[in-house]
Structure 1
């Protein structure tokens, strides 16, 4: 895992340097630096506005009682987009601008959600759940545990 991350970060850095040198030799040093700064400023403003929109969608989902999983994944992707746009370089800016497109980000988020497997707590030993009738069941029963059922009754005075 470490070797893969090292390879990715090194490759991206070398590619960024190569592209910056090529653009700098074509435009000049100061216009290249100005272009990198302008893309970072514009990108961060766009990420902020889309982040506010995404936060509103998240709040609407929660108000409707739905799980906002897609919005949470898109929020993480917007965070990554902000990092890519603020990082100096044209390759990361291009990748960040691609992720800034809502349709591309939504497709990628759906793909990520389809490929991620979540672990549940049901496989843990000693976990207990309560059924609708109020009875408790457990996977790892101890000798000191007494099973039973209960029923709630309001105290009438």
Structure 2
């Protein structure tokens, strides 16, 4: 094996390891919050923030849709609004 072949293998696993580490940290924090505030309150807070997040994404998507319509009606390219919509 060459030196470059041994260096390429660990790099390939870094994104997967980062995802697992992120999930582990998130679950650990969720469990700690549940111990401090209680399971029911923690679940209520998670659902509440999820509903707020969905509402914000929906409102922003609607604004982008209206901007796209305005740009198209004015004969301009709505490319920037399309990119914003995809990134939501």
2: CA distance, partners of 1:58 / 1:2: 40
Aligned pair partner of 2:79 in 60, 69, 74: 69
Larger radius of gyration: 1
Report what 2:70 is aligned to: 60
Does residue 9 of structure 1 match 2:50? no
Consecutive unaligned residues of structure 1, counting only runs of 5 or more, are: 79-157
TM-score by length of 1: 0.45
1:42-64 deviation line (CA, Å, top 9, x unaligned): 21112111111110001111222
Shift in Å, 1:3: 3.1
2: CA distance, partners of 1:60 / 1:4: 44
2: CA distance, partners of 1:35 / 1:70: 34
Consecutive unaligned residues of structure 2, counting only runs of 5 or more, are: 1-10
Between structures 1 and 2, the one with greater helix share: 2
TM-score by length of 2: 0.74
1:16-46 deviation line (CA, Å, top 9, x unaligned): 1121012111101111111111111121112
Secondary structure at the aligned position of 1:15 is classed as: helix
Aligned residues: 78
Residues 1-157 of structure 1 mapped to structure 2, 5 A cutoff: 3-78=13-88
Q: 1:51 to 1:19 in 2, by over 3 A?
A: same
2: CA distance, partners of 1:28 / 1:38: 15
